[in-house]
Structure 1
Amino acid sequence: MQVHLKKYILPLRHTFSISRESHDFQDTLIASLSLNGKTGYGEATANPYYKITVLSMTNEINAIASEIENFNFTTPELFHSFLVGKGLSNFAICALDLAAHDLYGKLQGKPLYELWGTNNNHYPTTNYTIGIAPIDVMLAKMQEVPWPIYKIKLGTSDDVAIVRELREHTNAVFRIDANCAWTAEETIYNAPLLKDLGVEFLEQPL
C-alpha cells in the first residue's frame, strides 16, 4: 500500500473568526492510500489551538510510512487499530482513517453507506457555521447560505444581542459555540435568554 501526503492552503470565502483567532486561509493535509489500482483520500486540517500543523502531521506519518506500506490492508477498522498503536496524533489518524475508508469502499466497489448497511437518507443534517463578525456581515453570511441549522460563533460583549438580531431573519435552529470565551456566570445568565431565542444547545462556553 502506498501513502502520499500533500499540503493545500485553502482560501476561505470570508474571514473566519472565533473568540480567540481569525484566519483567511486553512492549511490542510490531504493523505492518499493506494492499493490494487485504487486510491482513497483523507483530510485533516491544521489547528493552532492543539498545536497541530500540516508539517507536524506529515512528520508523524512519514515516520511510519514504511510500516504503512508493508501493512496488510483488509479493513479500515484493523488499519485504525494499527495507527492508534503507533501513537499518532488524532489529527494524523483522522487523515489516514478517512483515506482508508475511502480506499476500502473503492476496493469493494460500493459506497460506504451500503457497506455500513444504511442509506443516504438516514443521516442527521449538519450545521452551517457563522463566524464572529459585525452583525450585518453575519446576517449576510446567513442569507448567502439558507440552511435549516446554523452554528453561531460567539465571544463578544454583545452575544445575546447578536443572536436576537439573527433570529429576526430566520426560523432555523441555532447552535452556539463560544469557544471558551464565557465565564460560568455569563453562561448561567445567557443560557435561558438563548433558549428563548430558539438555541438548541451551547457548545464549549467555558
Structure 2
Amino acid sequence: MNLTYQRINLRLAGEFRTAVATRTDKQTLWVKVTHDGVEGWGEAVPMDTYGQTLESASEALRDMAALLADRDPFEVEHIVAALLDRFDGQRAAVCAVDAALHDWIGKRLEIPTARVLGLSTKCIPVTSYTIGIADPEKLADRVRAAAGYPVLKIKVGTARDEENLAVIRATAPKAVIRVDANTAWSVDETIAKLPMLVKYGVEFVEQPIKPGDADGLRRIREAGHRLGREAGRAGSICPLVADESSVRPRDVAALAGCVDGINIKLSKCGGIREALRMIALARTLDMKIMLGCMIESSLGIAAALQLAPLVDWLDLDGHLLLSEEPFEGIGGAGGRLALGQGIGLGVRMHPTLSDNA
C-alpha cells in the first residue's frame, strides 16, 4: 500500500471568530492511499489545542507511509490500532489514514462506506450551521443569511453574549439555538448564565470551561438539573455537552455523570474506528452524542457522515463555511446533508483539481 499526502489551504467565505481564535482560512492535509489500483482519500485537520501542527502531522504521515508499505487496507482495524499506539499525539493524522482506508474498502467493494459499517445515511439528523462571534449588526445579517438552516450553533464568550443572543433570537424566532463557549467561561459564570440561556431558548451549551476540570463540569450539570427540577422539567434546564474534554474513548468514561452529552470529531479522536468506540461507550453511559467537525472540506465531512445515523445531533458544517468547495458529492438543503450514490466515502475531487492531485 502506498501513502502520499499534500497540504491544502482552505479559504473561508468570511471571517470566522470564536472565543479563542479568528480565521479567514484553514490549512489541512489530504491523504491518499493506493493499493491494487484503487485510491482511498482522507483529510487531517491538525489542532494546536492538542499539540498538533501541520509539520508534526506531516512528519507522522511520512513515518506512517513506511509502516504501511506492506499492509493490506482490509486490515483497517489492526492498522489503526497500531497507528494510535505509536502516534497517539497525532490523532488528526491517524484520522486521515483511517478515513482513506475506509474510503478504499468501500471503493474496492463498490459500495458506500456506510454499508461496509452496516449503516445507511438516508435518515440522519439535521446539521446545525455555525455563526461566529461578531457585533450585533453583523450577527443579524449572518443569521438572516442562514435563514435556510433551522438549527444554529452560536459561538459565545464575550461581554456581549446576552445582547448577541437577544439579537439572534429576535432575528430567528423559530430557530433551534445551541451555544458553544469554546472554554471561555468559568464554572461559576456558566452556572450564573444558565437562566439567561434558557430565556433565549438555547437547546444546550457546549464546553463552557477549560478541559481537565471534570468536577467543574459536574457542578454545572448538577446546577442545570437542579434548575430543571425547580422548573418542573425532566433533566437539565440547559444540557451540558463536552467537546475539548472529550477526545478519546477513555475520556468518555471519565465524564460519566459530569455531562449530558459529548461532541465527537473524527480529527480529534483519530477517525471512524475510535469514534465507533466512543459512541458505544457513550450509549452505555446514557449520554447524548453530537458528531462535530473542524473547518474542513467535504472530504472530512463525508467521513463523519458515515456515522451520522448513530448520533443525536449533527454539527457537520465545516465545508459550508468555505468560499470554494474542492470536493463534490455532498448535497442537501435546509441543514439536511445528503450523500449521493457514490462508493466509498461518496465524494470526489472537483474535476478542476483532480488532474493535479
TM-score w.r.t. structure 1 length? 0.93
Report the AA paired with residue 142 of structure 2: K
Q: Given the alignment of the two structures, is residue 106 of structure 1 paired with residue 107 of structure 2, yes or no?
A: yes
Q: C-alpha displacement at 1:134, in angstroms? A: 1.4
Q: Given the alignment of the two structures, is residue 191 of structure 1 paired with residue 194 of structure 2, yes or no?
A: yes
In structure 1, the partner of 2:158 is 156
Counterpart of 1:192 in 2: which secondary structure?
Answer: helix
Please tell me whether the aligned partners of residues 26 and 46 of structure 1 are also in contact (alpha carbons under 8 angstroms): no
1:13-52 pair list within 5 angstroms: 13-52=13-52
Distance in structure 1 (CA, Å) of the matches to 2:199 and 2:16: 27
Closer, same or farther: CA 46–116 of 1 in aligned 2, 3 Å: closer
In structure 2, the partner of 1:201 is 204
In structure 2, the partner of 1:138 is 139
In structure 2, the partner of 1:127 is 128
In structure 1, the partner of 2:149 is 147
In structure 1, the partner of 2:64 is 64
Q: Given the alignment of the two structures, is residue 9 of structure 1 paired with residue 12 of structure 2, yes or no?
A: no
Distance in structure 2 (CA, Å) of the matches to 1:46 and 1:142: 29
Report the AA paired with residue 74 of structure 1: F
Closer, same or farther: CA 105–58 of 1 in aligned 2, 3 Å: same
Distance in structure 1 (CA, Å) of the matches to 2:19 and 2:140: 18
Please tell me whether the aligned partners of residues 33 and 103 of structure 1 are also in contact (alpha carbons under 8 angstroms): yes
Q: C-alpha displacement at 1:128, in angstroms? A: 1.2
Please tell me whether the aligned partners of residues 3 and 68 of structure 2 are also in contact (alpha carbons under 8 angstroms): yes
Please tell me whether the aligned partners of residues 5 and 30 of structure 1 are also in contact (alpha carbons under 8 angstroms): yes
Q: C-alpha displacement at 1:136, in angstroms? A: 2.1
RMSD: 1.5
Counterpart of 1:25 in 2: which secondary structure?
Answer: strand
Distance in structure 2 (CA, Å) of the matches to 1:114 and 1:72: 20
Does 54-63 or 110-119 show the bigger shift?
A: 110-119
Please tell me whether the aligned partners of residues 73 and 104 of structure 2 are also in contact (alpha carbons under 8 angstroms): no
Counterpart of 2:178 in 1: which secondary structure?
Answer: strand
Report the AA paired with residue 188 of structure 1: I
Distance in structure 2 (CA, Å) of the matches to 1:149 and 1:60: 37
Q: Percent identity, aligned pairs only?
A: 31
In structure 2, the partner of 1:54 is 54
Distance in structure 2 (CA, Å) of the matches to 1:78 and 1:138: 47
Please tell me whether the aligned partners of residues 150 and 172 of structure 1 are also in contact (alpha carbons under 8 angstroms): yes
Report the AA paired with residue 156 of structure 1: T
Report the AA paired with residue 190 of structure 1: K
Please tell me whether the aligned partners of residues 42 and 98 of structure 1 are also in contact (alpha carbons under 8 angstroms): yes
Counterpart of 1:33 in 2: which secondary structure?
Answer: strand
Q: Given the alignment of the two structures, is residue 182 of structure 1 paired with residue 185 of structure 2, yes or no?
A: yes
Q: Given the alignment of the two structures, is residue 92 of structure 1 paired with residue 89 of structure 2, yes or no?
A: no
In structure 2, the partner of 1:169 is 171
Distance in structure 1 (CA, Å) of the matches to 2:104 and 2:141: 39
Structure 1 stretches of 5 or more lacking a match?
Answer: none
Structure 2 stretches of 5 or more lacking a match?
Answer: 210-357
Structure 1 residue ranges (4+ consecutive) displaced by more than 6 angstroms after TM superposition = none
Distance in structure 1 (CA, Å) of the matches to 2:62 and 2:194: 46
Counterpart of 2:171 in 1: which secondary structure?
Answer: coil
Distance in structure 2 (CA, Å) of the matches to 1:198 and 1:21: 26
